[in-house]
């Protein structure tokens, strides 16, 4: 594979890049590799800045911290004008992976809730006594939300299933 085909893994050793591109790595392995890469690049950039500062003679004088930081920043910016640092690219890559994983986890969480809700609805249709037995528990759960308007809306949404004010129970509607 060419480097342009795998821009996000070009910095990894060949074996690791191949594993990452084939999907043989777990999410944890990918994140650990990205974090290790960021640490390695950060250490390399720090060493580079120190070498450059030493060559520029910044350590030959006594500087106040703000003066030293200003000189180091100015010097580093002058050296890296027009190109993004590998560290910045690696940090961006890690942020993208975290965002994707977070989105995937939210999707899985929503899917779990849908499946469990579907299961409960099927149980309630098949076993009306189970619905009646769980009705109080579900209403208590709905009452735990801190916003009064949301509590009322949630109860209204489930009123036709649980029965209650303004809604008919599934059992009553079936008769």
Residues 78-128: tens digit of each pLDDT: 766 655 677 788 888 889 999 999 999 999 999 999 999 999 999 999 998
Give the model's confidence band at 22: pLDDT under 50 very low, under 70 low, under 90 confident, else very high.
low
Domain that holds residue 39: 1-126
72 shares a domain with 98:
yes
133 shares a domain with 114:
no
Tell me what pLDDT residue 29 has: 86
CA-to-CA distance for 19 and 25, rounded, in angstroms? 6
137 shares a domain with 118:
no
Domain closes at, from 108, 126, 144 = 126
Average pLDDT value for residue range 149-158: 93
Taking the model in full, what pTM does it have?
A: 0.51
φ, ψ of residue 40 in degrees (nearest 5): -60, -45
Q: How far is CA 147 from CA 116, 141, 143, in A?
A: 24, 13, 9
140 shares a domain with 66:
no
The lowest-confidence range among 9-18, 60-69, 127-136 is 9-18
> Please, are residues 37 and 90 in contact by the beta-carbon 8 Å criterion?
yes
CA-to-CA distance for 70 and 85, rounded, in angstroms? 19
Q: What angle do CA 94, 17, 90 make, to 5 degrees?
A: 25
Count of structural domains, the chain: 2
Alpha helix segments (H runs only) across 23-175: 27-56, 65-79, 86-126, 128-142, 148-162, 170-174
76 shares a domain with 64:
yes
CA-to-CA distance for 152 and 42, rounded, in angstroms? 52
More confident site: 26 or 107:
107
167 shares a domain with 100:
no
58 shares a domain with 109:
yes
121 shares a domain with 71:
yes
133 shares a domain with 119:
no
37 shares a domain with 11:
yes
155 shares a domain with 86:
no
172 shares a domain with 105:
no
- For 46-61, how does the pLDDT look when each residue is reduced to its tens digit (9 = 90+)? 888 788 778 877 778 7
């Amino acid at each position: 594979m060419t480097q342009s085909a795998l821009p996000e893994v070009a910095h990894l050793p060949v074996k690791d890049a191949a594993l990452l591109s084939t999907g043989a790595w777990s999410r944890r392995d990918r994140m650990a590799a990205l974090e290790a890469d960021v640490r390695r690049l950060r250490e390399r950039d720090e060493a580079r800045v120190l070498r450059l500062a030493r060559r520029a003679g910044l350590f030959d004088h006594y500087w106040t911290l703000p003066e030293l930081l200003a000189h180091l920043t100015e010097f580093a910016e002058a050296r890296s004008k027009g190109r993004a640092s590998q560290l910045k690219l690696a940090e961006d890559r890690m942020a993208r992976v975290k965002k994707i994983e977070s989105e995937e986890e939210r999707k899985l969480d929503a899917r779990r809730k849908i499946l469990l809700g579907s299961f409960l609805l099927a149980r309630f249709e098949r076993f009306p006594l189970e619905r009646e037995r769980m009705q109080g528990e579900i209403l208590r759960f709905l009452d735990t939300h801190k916003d009064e308007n949301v509590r009322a809306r949630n109860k209204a949404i489930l009123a036709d299933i649980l029965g209650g004010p303004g809604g008919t129970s599934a059992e009553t509607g079936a008769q």
